[in-house]
Structure 1
């Protein structure tokens, strides 16, 4: 190892040690990504709620469902309250139909998500907007049992409200509003609805942040979440959905596993930097020159032009025409799968029906081909006419009439 390489190696080692020191001493930023996953303890995970469900419902069985609802509800004997909470939920038509049949049999479905537009149940949502930046948002359950207590949320979020509901079968359970400095409400909307369907109920809620770790651990907001959950039945299991979650519930790839660990990620990045240094200082010096090899040219087109020019210069129009007719027959055999041993009315009908050309056009083309067969010589105009007729015939097959 020469002196120059030793210097670069020492600098590289100092760089790595400095990077490790900075990574160990810097303050890790808070992860505000909304995963809504029960295994995540970050602010927008649902670890606290999932672990507190057993305390809230001591006599109720809590089941974790890893399958999509379409698969899980194939068994029509399933019972319970299917519990969905996520930033966005996109059910397929067939899947939501199974949820409806599930509710119709006497079960419940609880859905808490933003942007809920369910045409099947006649529900629409829009964002509740406010022009005053100093206003705060409040949430309230009108039920007298909750003493009209109002709760707030101090993080920016998408506040959705119902703009269209089925008033005949729905009960309003919750509202949200913006309140100005004087305590006056400037904007208000419905954000929690109970919809009766068959023997069961849909509970539709547009503020999923109410069930996150951040909201529940910030007193007294945990009481608001408990009040919402109090509408769930205790005599049937709670089916906690883990399939529809923004946060991944399992390792999706080896690279995801590698980058999910802080120390493995450092090792990976340092390995990449080491490879880069090797390429810059070692690979360039030792790599042999790669010879340039020019690929062989495709001379097919040039050969075809040469042969065509030979025929043209010799005025061999009849020979060219015969070749084109033979190619046409071969084209019909391979493309249309029609035998060309006998050219008659039956042949015309087959060709016309499979090529998209009319019977008269097919008959005219092959009668002209027959005229050329009977002549000893033809003019260049007749050759051009034959070519135009054949090309028109082929274009009809490729692109239709």
Structure 2
């Protein structure tokens, strides 16, 4: 183990100890956020309702942790049933499936104070702010249920119904004073007929949360749920994360363990970055490629010289010369006649006698039956180099 690694390990352990001391001395802070999550034991979570839900619905409850669209695509009910939705945002396709079920005789118990304009227009109601006071009472309008009331005294949503269609039945109201209809502020619980079924909409989802279930000493919630027929109920559950039985679920759901896990990942990342920078692999030295073209030409030239094949060398030189004339000077080299000599003279400005002598040697190199000497090759090479300069 290297000395650097030991230093990093000691620093990391010290940080963990300091963080642990801070966590031990830290006073717990109550989370008052309205999360409506069945896994949360915070005041506005649904943990208690989730635990008691089976008894509330007499064992006829199914919890669906997927969208209504996915649920009804997979499992189609042949009989009408109840649907429970608690402050859950659903897509338009899911609502189409729900409305189709309600039209066929199902009932929806819906706790929400925030819906889309399309849904509000379809069902015939609007939301409004009912009160700016810190507390008020929720009470049912049925005279048999007047003892079922609930005091909303902690972070109320202050939402009720403003516009209500004439055929909508009001089942509950918001009151300034308990059992006093004269102090009514607004309707908060309504029944909407839709096809063969009904929508029961309550504008205060807080009544289902841990805080109000523990605080309530009457049966307000049970009275609301009693409007649903005694039959199978499907609850589309709202969760922050998909349920899992993996160890990570336990770690991430406990703040101290979650912070320690994130700190561990951060420490490992820093360790990897520093070590990758300090222990980088040696970059190999790559030699540039050598230009072997000149060596190749010398080898070919030496081969021809050793074989004494001067005629072939003159033919190659003539071929190269004529190609340069065509490409650089744009002169046709098909006929090496007097007209060709004049054009080459005009383009290059070289002596016409020198050009004639060079052309004669080029023709000799092209003639396969001509007798070529070493002196002819040397002479032609000199003349062609002078012309191409």
Secondary structure, aligned partner of 2:198: strand
The answer (yes or no) to whether the contact 2:39–2:239 under 8 Å persists in 1 is: no
Max Rg structure: 2
**CA offsets per residue over residues 269-314 of structure 1, 9 Å max, x none?**
134236536756x6666558999xxxxxxxxxxxxxxxxxxxxxxx
Equivalent position to 1:237, from 232, 237, 240: 232
CA distance in 1, matches of 2:232, 2:98: 16
Pairing 1:232-311 to 2, within 5 Å after superposition: 232-234=228-230, 236-242=231-237, 245=238, 247-250=240-243, 259-261=252-254, 262-263=256-257, 265-273=259-267, 275-276=269-270
Q: Which residue of 1 aligns with 2:86?
A: 85
Secondary structure, aligned partner of 2:219: helix
Q: CA 1:63–1:76 in structure 2 vs 1: closer, same or farther (change >3 Å)?
A: closer
Q: CA 1:125–1:18 in structure 2 vs 1: closer, same or farther (change >3 Å)?
A: same
Aligned residue pair count:
277
Q: Which residue of 2 aligns with 1:204?
A: 201
Alignment of 1:195 onto 2:192:
yes
Secondary structure, aligned partner of 1:161: strand
Q: CA 1:106–1:26 in structure 2 vs 1: closer, same or farther (change >3 Å)?
A: same
Q: Displacement of 1:8 after TM fit?
A: 7.3
Q: CA 1:256–1:119 in structure 2 vs 1: closer, same or farther (change >3 Å)?
A: farther
Q: Which residue of 2 aligns with 1:223?
A: 219
Mark the runs of 5 or more structure 2 residues left unpaired by the alignment: 285-389
Q: Which residue of 2 aligns with 1:173?
A: 171
Mark the runs of 5 or more structure 1 residues left unpaired by the alignment: 292-401
TM-score with structure 1 length normalisation? 0.58
CA distance in 2, matches of 1:100, 1:8: 61
Q: Which residue of 2 aligns with 1:343?
A: none
Pairing 1:126-141 to 2, within 5 Å after superposition: 126-130=128-132, 135-141=134-140
The answer (yes or no) to whether the contact 1:129–1:187 under 8 Å persists in 2 is: no
Q: CA 1:289–1:206 in structure 2 vs 1: closer, same or farther (change >3 Å)?
A: farther
Q: CA 1:156–1:289 in structure 2 vs 1: closer, same or farther (change >3 Å)?
A: farther
**CA offsets per residue over residues 109-157 of structure 1, 9 Å max, x none?**
1111122352112222123342x5xx42221112111225542122213
RMSD after superposition: 3.8
The answer (yes or no) to whether the contact 1:36–1:247 under 8 Å persists in 2 is: no
Q: Which residue of 1 aligns with 2:146?
A: 147
Secondary structure, aligned partner of 2:16: helix
Q: CA 1:98–1:6 in structure 2 vs 1: closer, same or farther (change >3 Å)?
A: closer
Secondary structure, aligned partner of 2:66: coil
CA distance in 2, matches of 1:96, 1:77: 18
TM-score with structure 2 length normalisation? 0.59
Q: CA 1:24–1:2 in structure 2 vs 1: closer, same or farther (change >3 Å)?
A: same
Secondary structure, aligned partner of 1:73: helix
Secondary structure, aligned partner of 1:32: coil
Q: Displacement of 1:18 after TM fit?
A: 1.8
Q: Which residue of 1 aligns with 2:22?
A: 22
The answer (yes or no) to whether the contact 1:142–1:175 under 8 Å persists in 2 is: yes
Q: Which residue of 1 aligns with 2:111?
A: 112
Q: CA 1:249–1:127 in structure 2 vs 1: closer, same or farther (change >3 Å)?
A: farther
The answer (yes or no) to whether the contact 2:111–2:204 under 8 Å persists in 1 is: yes
The answer (yes or no) to whether the contact 2:173–2:186 under 8 Å persists in 1 is: yes
Q: CA 1:81–1:272 in structure 2 vs 1: closer, same or farther (change >3 Å)?
A: same
Q: Displacement of 1:41 after TM fit?
A: 3.0
